[in-house]
Amino acid sequence: MNPESPEDILERPIPIDDDKAEHARLRIRRRLPGRRLDKYLHSRFPRLSRTAIQRLIKQGAITVNGETTKASYELSSGDVVDLILPPPEPREVVAEDIPLDIVYEDEHMLAINKDTGIICHPARGDQTGTIANALVFYANSLSQGEDPFRPGIVHRLDKNTTGIMLVAKTDEAHWRLSLQFERRTIQKNYIAVVHGNPHLDGDTIDAPIGIHPVVREKFAVMIRENKIDVAKNAVTYYEIGERYGDYALVKLFPKTGRTHQLRVHMSHIGHPIVGDTMYGGKVISEFDITGDGSVEPLFPHQALHAWQIKFKHPITELPMELEAPFPPPFKKLVTLLRSRTREDS
């Protein structure tokens, strides 16, 4: 049997049970130049894929000013959008009593300091031990999002990257936070310890990233001319915080949010993150730094911490600035490097 084409999928209506359907009405307060109806509704109802929204528009379950329209319709001031939506899929993530380090919380959102060694969400319903499982146990309500396995999760951190993560309790908070990420108005500040002594005190790394051509679990900087079809634009700004001779503490400000971006970019300029063996970093011990003490690794993963995030509260729109305390192994690493540097000077 031949697979369905995108056109076939759009022609197939989405079954809607009238007794369980969700009815919604949106009034557009101001014109949204260049904002297609399907894109706008996807941002407002992230639990529905854009394809699902296009199918609902095509079957007449979504109208503008009482009339059927096209997904490409450009919204104007005064438009009234009526929607008949299928009910949310039942939450399938299993609640687990996993401790969470809560940095901030109110009725709309919360922020956690993610620990190392834990992934953000399951890939399937029976997978456990993730941040999502912990959130389902902890919170009375979470946004649905577009993936039932990611309740409340607005953005992610790598398994072994620690630090600040924002979580939405309501769908409105979710789409408003997501819009800030989409528009790149959220400022994230990471701290890392890297190998070597970068020549510049600060610079911008503008290098597209794609899936590694050989190792599918990895990512790599691609040559734009030859790999434009598989590489995505990626930009990182860095500043040197402290220098320790053959190591450096760097502040990293990602302007885009590609998977493994900071790790790939620092490796690309010849200064991989300490402990990041996937991208050329080495695991180090107290003995490696001081010539004395334990030979056990300080930590067997990348020395990368999402320290600070600046954004507007999704509902009040007040400026927010949240910080996540550094994990003890990271603090010990920096303390040892500082001590060694003072002794050598």
Give percent helix, percent strand, percent coil of the chain, each to the nearest 5: 25, 25, 50
Name the catalytic one among 38, 79, 158, 276: 158
Residue 122 near residue 132 (C-beta atoms within 8 A) = yes
- Across 65-104, b (16+ Cβ under 10 Å) vs e yields eeeebebebebeeebebebbbbeeeeeebbeeebebeebb
> Measured in Å, how far apart are the chain's first and last C-alpha atoms?
73
Encoded tokens for 113: 């300091």
Strands across the sheet containing 80-85: 22-27, 80-85, 62-64
Of 210, 219, 218, 161, which is closest to residue 190 (Cα–Cα)? 161
Closest CA to 49 of 90, 3, 14: 14
Q: Quick one: 190 exposed, middle or buried, by C-beta within 10 A (0-12, 13-18, 19+)?
A: buried
What are the residues facing 304 on neighbouring strands?
192
Q: For residue 33, count other CB atoms closer than 10 A to its CB.
A: 8
For the question of residue 101 being annotated catalytic, the response is no
Catalytic residue numbers, as ranges? 158
